[in-house]
Structure 1
Amino acid sequence: MPELPEVETVRRTLNELVAGKRIERVTVTLPRIIQRPAEPEAFAAALAGHTIQSVERKGKFLRILLDGLVLVSHLRMEGRYGVFAQDEPVELHTHVRFRFDDGTELRYKDVRQFGTMHLFAPGDDLTNPPLNKLGIEPLDESFTLQAFKGQVAHRTTKVKPLLLNQAYIVGLGNIYVDEALFTAGIHPEREAVTLKSPEWIRLYDAIRATLGRAVEAGGSSIKSYVNGQGEMGMFQHQLLIYGRNDAPCTRCGTMIVKTVVGGRGTHTCPVCQPHPVKRGKAAKVVKGPKAAKTKAKPNAK
C-alpha cells in the first residue's frame, strides 16, 4: 500500500500535470470505487465542467481541489493515477477516467479494486468520513514533539501498532514504521508507556527524518508503486531494515529477523533493538503439552 511518501510524490506529480485543467466528462466503469455520492452517474455529472485548482494530501488520502468541489481519493493497495492523451489505448483495470477539454485525460487504474473516491463541497471533506477522524500529520508544523507524545506516550499498546493507527498519526505505514523504530533503536513490541524521554526524542526525530528522505527519493517502489508519470520511487535502495530479513544489520552485523507484530510483518535487529522481555522478567515459553510431573527417585546407594 502506498504510504505517506508515495502519496506525497503522487500529489506533487499530479499537481504539475492536472492543475488548471477543465473536466469535460467523467467515465466510471467500476461503480464501487465511488463512495460518495452513492450513484456513479451523479458523481460524473457533478464533476463535469469543473476545473482542477490544486492537489493536496491528508495522510494517505489525496484531496483534489476543484472550483466548488473536493474529490477525496485513497489509492489503497495498488491504485495509481496517470495522465494520457485521449486517443491512447486504455489499459486493463482502468476504472475512472477524467476527460479534459485539452485532449488529455486523467485515468485511475486499480488492479486490486480497493481504491475509493468521495466527492464533497469545500470544507465538508474535513468534517466527514473518511478524513474527519484522522490524527496529526507527521510532516506538518503541528507535529511537534509535545503533540506526538500527547497522542501516544501514555498508552499501554505496543509502539508499532500505535504508530500504524491512523487515528493518532496519519500516513505512517509498515515500511516507514520499521525504518523509524530501527533508527531510534526501539523494539516494536515495547509498550509506548515504557519509553523514556530520550527515546521519544529519538523516535520523533527518526520519523521526521525517515519520511523526509523518502519524499526526496520519490517514495519506495517495493511492489507496483509508480508516480503519476509512471516513474518508480528510489527510497527502497536506502532502506536500512525493511525487507532485509536474514541479512546483516548495517550497524552491528547481527542478522535481521522478521516476526509479526500487530498482524504486520516486522523487521528488527536483536542487538540494536533489544526485545522488551530482556529488560525485566523473561516471558514463559511453552514448547508443547505440559508434561506430567514425576517424583524423582533417590539415588541408589
Structure 2
Amino acid sequence: MPELPEVETSVQAIQEFADQSLESIEIYNPNLRWKVDSKSFKKLFGLKVNKINRRAKYILLHIEKSQILIHLGMTGTLRIANKKSNFYKKHDHIEFIFQKGKLIFNDPRRFGSMHLIGEPSKHFLLDKLGPEPLSREFDGEYFFQKIKKSLSPIKNALMNQQNVVGIGNIYANEILFDARIRPTRKSKTITKKEHNKIAESAKKILKIAIKAGGTTLKDFYKPDGNKGYFKIDLAVYDRANEKCKNCKKESIIRIIQSQRATFYCRKCQT
C-alpha cells in the first residue's frame, strides 16, 4: 500500500493540473471500495482545480467549495496521459480530462476510493487522524504523551493513524531501525529520549524517501511512469537473513506482528 512518501510523490507529480479546469470526468467503473457518486462528479465539469495537496495517505483536489478525496488503497496509482490519447490499461477506472492532459486512476484490486466532499476535517476518513509526521506538531514530547501508557508494541503505535499519519509497514520498520529501537517493545517502556529519536528518525527517513520518489516494491509507480528508488536504501525491510548494514554481524530477523512482517536487527535495536 502506498505510504506517505509515495502519496506525496504523486501529489508533487500532478501539480501541473492545479489551476486547470476540469472539462469532464469519465467513470468507467464506479465500484471501488465505496461506490463513486457519478452524478455528483458531473457537477464539477468546467470548474477549476485551485490546489492539490495531501493529508495523511489521501490526495485532495480542491475545487471551489468541494474537494475530490482520493485514496490509492493497496494497488491504486495515478497516471498522467496526453489529452488526446486513447491508450487504455486494464483496471483504468476513472479519467479526469483537463484543458491540457488527463489524469487516470488505475486500481487492479479496487481497494482505493474516491469521494466528493465538503470540509475535509469533518469527513469520516479524515476526522480522527493524528498530526503529519513532518509537521512541527509531531515531536518526541507529543508522541511520548500520546502513547506513554500504551501496552501496544511501538511499531503498532507508530502505524496507528490516530497517533501520527502516513506511516505504514515499510517506513515503520525503517524508522525504528534508524532510531535503534526494537519494534516489539511495549510503548510504555519507551523513554522520552527514545521518543525524541523516533520523531527525528521519522522526519529523516520520510524526507529521504520522498526525495527518492518513494518505494517501488510490487505496485507503486509515480504518475509519470517512473519507479520510486528508495528501495535501494532500505536498511531492514524485506532483508530477512541478510547481514545488518550497521553492525555487519547479525542477520536481519523477520517476525509477524499484527499480521504484518516486521524486520529488525537483534544487536542494533534494543
Instruction: Report if TM-score (shorter chain) is over 0.5.
Output: yes
Counterpart of 2:127 in structure 1 is 132
* Kept in 1: contact 2:36–2:115 (CA 8 A): no
Is residue 70–residue 120 contact of structure 1 (8 Å, CA) maintained in 2? yes
Q: Which residue of 1 aligns with 2:153?
A: 158
Name the CA distance, whole Å, in 1 between partners of 2:36 and 2:169: 34
CA contact under 8 A between 1:28 and 1:40: conserved in structure 2?
no
CA distance in structure 2 between the partners assigned to 1:160 and 1:257 by the alignment: 15
The residue number in structure 2 matching 1:238 is 233
Q: Which residue of 2 aligns with 1:208?
A: 203
2:39 paired with 1:49: no
Offset at residue 240 of structure 1 (A): 0.8
In structure 2, the partner of 1:269 is 265
Identity %: 30
- Once the 2 structures are TM-superposed, how far is the Cα of residue 39 of structure 1 from its aligned partner? 6.0
Tell me, what secondary structure is at the counterpart of 1:55? Answer: strand
Aligned to 1:258: 254
Task: Indicate the SS of the match to 1:205.
Answer: helix
1:164 Cα deviation after fit: 1.0
Task: Please give the per-residue CA displacement for 1:63-89, whole angstroms capped at 9, x wherever unaligned.
Answer: 111122111110011111112123321
Bigger relative CO (Cα 8 Å, ≥ 6 apart) = 2
1:77-112, Cα deviation, whole Å (9 max, x unpaired): 11111121233212111000111234x211111111
Residue 229 in 1 paired to residue 224 in 2? yes
Question: Match for residue 68 of structure 1?
Answer: 65
Q: Which amino acid aligns with 1:163?
A: L
CA 1:271–1:39: 2 relative to 1, 3 Å: closer
**Match of residue 19 from structure 2:** 20
Match for residue 292 of structure 1?
none
CA drift of 1:258 comes to 0.5
**Letter of the aligned partner of 2:91 in structure 1?**
H
Give the stretch that moved more between structures: 170-179 or 146-155: 146-155
Q: State the 1:134 CA deviation.
A: 0.8
Say if 1:47 and 1:33 are closer, same or farther in 2 by CA, change over 3 A: farther
Paired position in structure 1 for 2:112 = 115
Q: CA deviation at 1:28?
A: 1.0
Shift of 1:218: 1.0
| C-alpha separation in 1, matches of 2:50 and 2:36 | 24
Give yes or no for the alignment of 1:77 onto 2:77: no
Separation in 2, partners of 1:34, 1:54: 25
Give CA deviations for 1:106-165 in whole Å, capped at 9, x if unaligned: 1111111111011123xx221121111111110112212222222222211111111111
Displaced runs of 4 or more, over 4 A: none
- C-alpha separation between the residues in 2 aligned to 1:208 and 1:71? 27
Q: 1:140-155 maps to which residues of 2 (within 5 A)?
A: 140-155=135-150
Match of 2:28 in 1: 29
- In the aligned structure 1, how far is the partner of 2:32 from the partner of 2:25? 13
Q: How many residues align?
A: 268
Q: Do the aligned partners of 2:33 and 2:111 also contact (CA within 8 Å) in 1?
A: no
Aligned to 1:97: 95
* Alignment TM-score, normalising by the size of structure 1: 0.85
Alpha-carbon distance between aligned partners in 2 of 1:191 and 1:34, rounded to the nearest angstrom: 33
In 2, the alpha carbon distance for the partners of 1:3 and 1:87 equals 31
Matched position secondary structure for 2:123: coil
State the match for 2:166 in structure 1.
171
- Counterpart amino acid of residue 48 in structure 2: T
What amino acid maps onto 2:251 in structure 1? Answer: M
Counting only pairs closer than 5 Å after superposition, residues 192-203 of structure 1 correspond to structure 2 as 192-203=187-198
- CA distance, structure 2, for counterparts of residue 67 and residue 265 of structure 1: 42
Cα deviation, residue 237, structure 1: 0.8
> Any idea what SS the aligned residue of 1:82 has?
strand
- The CA distance in 2 between the partners of 1:264 and 1:34, in whole Å, is 21
Deviation (angstroms), 1:177: 0.4
